[in-house]
A and B are shown apart, each in its own frame.
Chain A
Amino acid sequence: EVQLLESGGGLVKPRGSLRLSCAASGFTFSNYAMSWVRQAPGKGLEWVSGISASGGTTYYADSVKGRFTISRDNSKNTLYLQMNSLRAEDTAVYYCAKDDIVLMAYFTFDSWGQGTLITVSS
């Protein structure tokens, strides 16, 4: 059974930093691209960032480009999101999501974590 477990959420001040982690199990992590998708309170889904299976290619939404960095450690089956220069509008539940196609960044997500809440406020 695929399991994705996010951690690292919490309250952070504007212009602060935070690193999210997503521990994966139940599948061959190194074979799949992964993404972060967020959902502001009461709002819709917004794709944030993605990374290829090898980690060699990364993708970002314009809203976070230059501030967020996605990475992965395939030896630890873990996905990361380093978030810098945080803004109030980054407040959201952040989900990690697994791509459904082997070895391609296809951006169709067949498994999701339970999410971790980031609140950016002074």
Chain B
Amino acid sequence: QSALTQPPSVSGSPGQSVTISCTGTSSDVGHFNRVSWYQQSPGTAPKLMIYEVTNRPSGVPDRFSGSKSGNTASLTISGLQAEDEADYYCSSYTSSSTPVFGGGTKLTVL
């Protein structure tokens, strides 16, 4: 199973919005509404930010939102804050009954 495709890096200024894309295929992102997003700060374990494409776990700010169109899922962070600077990974369930991660996107808050 090939990794999902994410841009290596995105950036934005405080208060702005940024969107991170996650492109898969009709065998993963396009077929299942089981896309998750994880945030990972340096030296720490990943943290679940979005599950089932659009749902936020309790405690995750509503500045974080997810969506999907066709084979591409997206994570949007609005009202960017310095603390949002981290690596972000998408993940999807696949037709092989296993998950696959994206390559990761480094978010820089300017």
Contacts and interface: CB of A to CB of B under 8 A. Distances in A.
Interface of A: 35, 37, 44-47, 50, 59-62, 95, 100, 105-110, 112-115
- A interface, over-half SS: strand
A28 to B, nearest CB: 19
A107 B34 contact: yes
A100 B51 CA distance: 10
Contact of B46 (A59, A60, A107, A109): A109
Interface residues of B, number: 25
Nearest to B87: A44
Contacts, number: 63
Contacts of A59: 97-98
Contact of B48 (A46, A62, A110, A115): A110
A93 B86 CA distance: 18
A112 B48 CA distance: 9
A110 B105 CA distance: 20
Given A106-B93, A107-B93, A109-B36, 6 more contacts: A44-B87, A45-B101, A50-B98, A59-B97, A62-B1, A112-B46
B68 to A, nearest CB: 15
A112 B51 contact: no
Nearest first, the 10 closest Cβ-Cβ pairs linking A and B are: A107-B99, A112-B45, A44-B104, A45-B101, A108-B51, A44-B103, A108-B36, A47-B99, A110-B48, A45-B89
Contacts of B93: 106-107
